[in-house]
Amino acid sequence: MSPAATAPSHGPNQARVDSWVWAVRLFKTRSAAAAACRGGHVRVNGATAKPAQPVRPGDEVRVRSGGVERIVIVERVITKRVGAPIAAQCLIDRSPPPPPKEILASLPKRDRGTGRPTKRERRETDRLLGRTDD
**Global pTM?**
0.71
User: Tens digits of per-residue pLDDT, 49-65?
Assistant: 999 999 999 999 999 98
92: closest CA among 75, 109, 113? 75
List CB contacts of 81: < 8 A, sequence separation 6 or more. Answer: 22, 23, 25, 87
pLDDT at 1: 54
Residue at 12: amino acid letter: P
User: Tens digits of per-residue pLDDT, 73-114?
Assistant: 999 999 999 999 999 999 999 999 887 888 777 777 778 888
Give the pLDDT mean for 123-132: 85
Torsions phi, psi for 47 (to 5 deg)? -105, 140
What is the distance of C-alpha 77 from the center of its chain?
18
CA trace torsion 120, 123, 124, 126 (10° rounding): 160
